[in-house]
Structure 1
Amino acid sequence: MSDTPELVIANGTVVNSFGRRHAHIVVREGRIDQLVDAAGPVPAATRVIDAAGRLVIPGGVDGHCHVAQVTGRFRTLDDYRTTSTAALWGGTTTIIDFGIPRDARETPLEAILHKKELARESRCDVALHGSVVSWDETVPWQLEQLAAEGVRSVKMYTTNRGSTMADGDTILKVMREMVRLDGLTYIHAEHDPIIADCTQQHADDGRIGVEHLHRTRPELAEEVSVKETLAMAEYTGAPVYFVHQSTPGAVDLVTEARSRGQEAYSETCPHYLTLDDSVYGSVMPEWYACCPPMRSPQTVAALRERLANGAIHAVASDHSCYDLSQKRERADDIREMPHGLPGVETRMPVTFTAMMEAARGGEARVEDFVEVFAAGPARINALPRKGTIAPGFDADLVIFDPAEERVVDGAALHMGTDFSPFDGRTLTGWPAVVVSAGRVVVDSGGFHDPGPVGSFVPRNGFTEHRDALSWPQESRPAVYAAS
């Protein structure tokens, strides 16, 4: 076997969440072998890519994707081949999907084993979240089996009665189990009684089409649910992660809980940072059917401020690949239509553009972008060897020019659907070269399909990983001192 490394990314500015340096990145057997100061010669390699004048960041970690998801009578149109390909086109090299029971007959463990089998077709690495809908005496054992499979988080919904909703007793009991198993509780937080009542009132008035979606799910419903869930997490001592937070009030509740010492985290999505509820008055409101819905322009601006000041810990796509025919089938009744947006491919430029806009004329720090795009999701979700450019970490790398602008063409994307909610928008910060596990999968020549080589990534325990890999300022490796 040759000692020559397979790849060197030369002369780039390596940007991690905690600093940057000019370096040559040496890649061997799918991992980062070493970083060599760029003042020295470029090491020999089978392939050398010159990144002079450009930034090199860790491959993205999208902690919230729905692949081949079945909800009621609707199924998203993607599979792992499609979604992982789109992820790589967008600079994301690891996705985390959900094993959500398709109906009452499927157990949480069966749902995970089913998704693990489907994930064999993935082109990028995959991890999984479990999900519990209802409690029975088998759930503790099933959660133990999930942990043994490397699935260390469980998602529960506080709304969607009759399908995915977990009641308060179930949520509290699962939180206790996740503490025992050193795991993380994921929560979709919307107060179901408020939503059910508000939706019924609109239906009674004949205002139940998608153009009224934003009025049926008020900000109060999200914030009340976050507050209640934080109380249960405090009571049980459970770390808790809130998906797709759409209001500054919800984020502030998490910030306040953290100030009291709780392990609580806020995630938002690119669409909540860039789209407002005026989209429901457009000629195609079905393009924007998701839950929670888009909020007022004032709320969007305040949410971007929270992102800019570091109160939001991860930006995830909440990718759900329906097409317009599925959306339009029951656009007349939001209770019947599928909700969710395609976004795994556009997460990088939408997020980066939103952070630039939040900087208000200043320069957005790429380090802060790396934190919410890759490092934070990897750390919070206890993913080994992800989210950082350092020796021993996986060679998941993205070369990009933060000044590059492109106009989104939904038809030219690769997500397996026929629209993008960002169609026609000018976005900044696209990937030029994407390296996944040491393989160059995107470059100026397009996409180089590596085949079904994506690995399933077993996750560490939450506190185990946090204690081992959270580097405080004073103990970061010297090679990452900010420059």
Structure 2
Amino acid sequence: MSHAPDLVIAHGTVVNSFGRQAAHVVVHGGKIVQLVDASEPVPAAARTVDAAGRMVIPGGVDGHCHVAQVTGRFRTLDDYRTTSTAALWGGTTTIIDFGIPRDARETPLAAVLHKKELARESRCDVALHGSVVQWDETVPWQLEQLAAEGVRSVKMYTTNRGTTMADGDTILKVMREMVRLDGLTYIHAEHDPIIADCTRQHADDGRISIEHLHRTRPELAEEISVKETLAMAEYTNAPVYFVHQSTPGAVDLVAEARSRGQEAYSETCPHYLTLDDTVYGTSFPEWYACCPPMRSPETVAALRDRLAAGAIHTVASDHSCYDLAQKRERTDDIRAMPHGLPGVETRMPVTFTAMMDAAGGAARVEDFVEVFAAGPARINALPGKGIIAAGFDADLVVFDPAQERAVDGAALHMGTDFSPFDGRTLTGWPDVVVSAGRVVLDADGFHDPGPVGRFVARNGFREHQAAAGAASAPITVPATR
């Protein structure tokens, strides 16, 4: 390098999913250019951040966000400026949003192009998933266009009839197309006939308010949908990714499929790891309106055990930014109220705390990095993300794993007026956040970089997995607790 680098993160313990080392991280032009052993002098740079006594991990990748989402008559209250700012406050430097058709008139391609245009205001990097609701003869061409745009995954819902639900024929045909295009199929798995019938029975009995949400969407509905979808994925040889799994049974089904050689992945969310269905008996049950709902305390504990055992591949926020006024419009009828929780900003500390709780305080930070950054980047075929190594994007988080803070919902930055974790003491907050080589958060607060977020075109799924598997991990010091 002919001149001094832009930035050095000095004296930190660099933690990747595959190991850790004491090193100075040298950054220039938005990229990591070198890791220098910490026993060596700190390289001169335009700016130096001292990370002594703290850990440096890859910037988070949140593979499941809903930004400016329209569902029926409700629209989330955020935009890309708001959500990307909140993501950076929470140590996430890349978000993946969904181009979901707003109604039957909007095509999958148009939905993605609309979101791509909105994303010009993002402060952090953005990638996109497509979505198909109804098959027609134009879908193969539209999926080809999406792949050409760098959108290599498509989400489909097995529930929500009349709005976003895709029928079995559509799911099967899209899976075939995604295999052809080297893409990944995302699935929201809940068995619609069971949910519709269960909800109808509760409505007939007058038990349809928010206090009864968890009883209308039983665990069986999720698990039978996962089982059916895995069968379709096996039949088509399609890689499949299940969003927001809330039960250990659903995770186990994916693990069993993987043991048979299927390419299948489990995602869960921070709220399913930490909140249980007793929240629907509190004074503010509307704070927890989401689908799937919270599960029993026993189910939550077992889900955390699966996370600690490495059976869950990613933890994503499923960020949906409604406010309490929207949620309180129809708390009397769960069929008419918006479902979804704000969480892009709190994903890091809630996940880290849950992992520490599951492991009795002895969880490996390497395992946290895997579900927070490395796994989401690799599975979603995001080039340059999820690893601290020369040539990768300079997306970095400095944090003290022992630091505790209480969540103040009113002080967060997600564009809403509550957090489902309000008042909880959590461990693992970011001290310094670097996005594309820019220090955007430090002891002086947030430094708005402006609309500099880039759209990240993704690689082919199997192409990327093969390349990631062939790459050698630059481990200097073996992983330790």
TM-score by length of 2: 0.99
**2:474 paired with 1:477:** yes
Is the contact between residue 389 and residue 474 of structure 2 (CA under 8 Å) also seen in structure 1?
no
Is the contact between residue 380 and residue 466 of structure 1 (CA under 8 Å) also seen in structure 2?
yes
Counterpart residue number, 1:383: 382
Counterpart residue number, 2:253: 253
Is the contact between residue 18 and residue 480 of structure 1 (CA under 8 Å) also seen in structure 2?
no
Aligned-partner SS, 1:61: strand
| Mapping for residues 63-78 of structure 1, pairs under 5 Å | 63-78=63-78
Counterpart residue number, 2:428: 429
Tell me, in whole angstroms, the C-alpha distance in 1 between the residues paired with 2:479 and 2:77.
Answer: 44
Tell me, in whole angstroms, the C-alpha distance in 2 between the residues paired with 1:72 and 1:454.
Answer: 29
Letter in 1 for 2:474: P
- Root mean square deviation of aligned Cα: 1.0
Aligned-partner SS, 2:14: strand
Tell me, in whole angstroms, the C-alpha distance in 1 between the residues paired with 2:427 and 2:28.
Answer: 31
Counterpart residue number, 1:417: 416
| Mapping for residues 24-173 of structure 1, pairs under 5 Å | 24-173=24-173
Counterpart residue number, 1:21: 21
**2:29 paired with 1:3:** no
Aligned-partner SS, 1:203: helix
Tell me, in whole angstroms, the C-alpha distance in 1 between the residues paired with 2:205 and 2:357.
Answer: 39
| Mapping for residues 71-470 of structure 1, pairs under 5 Å | 71-360=71-360, 362-470=361-469
- How far did residue 366 of structure 1 move? 0.1
Aligned-partner SS, 1:145: helix
Letter in 2 for 1:313: H
- How far did residue 470 of structure 1 move? 2.6
Tell me, in whole angstroms, the C-alpha distance in 1 between the residues paired with 2:318 and 2:236.
Answer: 27
Tell me, in whole angstroms, the C-alpha distance in 2 between the residues paired with 1:60 and 1:95.
Answer: 8
Is the contact between residue 19 and residue 475 of structure 2 (CA under 8 Å) also seen in structure 1?
no
Is the contact between residue 18 and residue 475 of structure 2 (CA under 8 Å) also seen in structure 1?
no
Is the contact between residue 379 and residue 470 of structure 1 (CA under 8 Å) also seen in structure 2?
no
- How far did residue 478 of structure 1 move? 4.4
Is the contact between residue 158 and residue 189 of structure 2 (CA under 8 Å) also seen in structure 1?
yes
Aligned-partner SS, 2:61: strand
- How far did residue 480 of structure 1 move? 5.8
Is the contact between residue 405 and residue 426 of structure 1 (CA under 8 Å) also seen in structure 2?
yes
Is the contact between residue 366 and residue 479 of structure 2 (CA under 8 Å) also seen in structure 1?
no
Letter in 2 for 1:272: Y
Is the contact between residue 323 and residue 419 of structure 1 (CA under 8 Å) also seen in structure 2?
yes
- How far did residue 481 of structure 1 move? 4.3
Percent identical: 86
Is the contact between residue 269 and residue 315 of structure 1 (CA under 8 Å) also seen in structure 2?
yes
Is the contact between residue 51 and residue 399 of structure 1 (CA under 8 Å) also seen in structure 2?
yes
- Superposed CA deviations along residues 319-374 of structure 1, whole A, max 9, x for unmatched, are 000000000001110000000000000000000000000002x4110000000000
Tell me, in whole angstroms, the C-alpha distance in 1 between the residues paired with 2:228 and 2:174.
Answer: 15
- How far did residue 482 of structure 1 move? 3.5
Tell me, in whole angstroms, the C-alpha distance in 2 between the residues paired with 1:482 and 1:445.
Answer: 32
Aligned-partner SS, 2:85: helix
Unpaired segments ≥5 residues, structure 1: none
- How far did residue 446 of structure 1 move? 0.5
Tell me, in whole angstroms, the C-alpha distance in 1 between the residues paired with 2:209 and 2:3.
Answer: 63
Letter in 2 for 1:410: G
Aligned-partner SS, 1:479: coil
Tell me, in whole angstroms, the C-alpha distance in 2 between the residues paired with 1:43 and 1:244.
Answer: 43
- Check 1:190–1:6 CA distance in 2 against 1; reply closer, same or farther (3 A cut): same
Letter in 1 for 2:113: L
- How far did residue 479 of structure 1 move? 3.3
Tell me, in whole angstroms, the C-alpha distance in 2 between the residues paired with 1:478 and 1:248.
Answer: 32
Aligned-partner SS, 1:244: coil
Tell me, in whole angstroms, the C-alpha distance in 1 between the residues paired with 2:402 and 2:386.
Answer: 22
- Superposed CA deviations along residues 257-314 of structure 1, whole A, max 9, x for unmatched, are 0000000000000000000000000000000000000000000000000000000000
Tell me, in whole angstroms, the C-alpha distance in 1 between the residues paired with 2:331 and 2:244.
Answer: 22
Tell me, in whole angstroms, the C-alpha distance in 2 between the residues paired with 1:332 and 1:133.
Answer: 28
Tell me, in whole angstroms, the C-alpha distance in 1 between the residues paired with 2:156 and 2:35.
Answer: 41
| Aligned length in residues | 480
Letter in 2 for 1:228: E
- How far did residue 469 of structure 1 move? 1.5
- Check 1:137–1:480 CA distance in 2 against 1; reply closer, same or farther (3 A cut): farther
Aligned-partner SS, 2:182: coil
- How far did residue 173 of structure 1 move? 0.1
Tell me, in whole angstroms, the C-alpha distance in 1 between the residues paired with 2:404 and 2:473.
Answer: 33
Letter in 1 for 2:185: T
Aligned-partner SS, 1:208: coil
Is the contact between residue 406 and residue 427 of structure 1 (CA under 8 Å) also seen in structure 2?
yes
Is the contact between residue 93 and residue 395 of structure 2 (CA under 8 Å) also seen in structure 1?
yes
Is the contact between residue 146 and residue 152 of structure 1 (CA under 8 Å) also seen in structure 2?
yes
- How far did residue 2 of structure 1 move? 6.4
Tell me, in whole angstroms, the C-alpha distance in 1 between the residues paired with 2:77 and 2:300.
Answer: 29
Task: Extract structure 1 runs of 4+ deviating beyond 4 A.
Answer: none
Tell me, in whole angstroms, the C-alpha distance in 2 between the residues paired with 1:308 and 1:477.
Answer: 24
- Superposed CA deviations along residues 459-479 of structure 1, whole A, max 9, x for unmatched, are 00000000112357xx42243
Unpaired segments ≥5 residues, structure 2: none
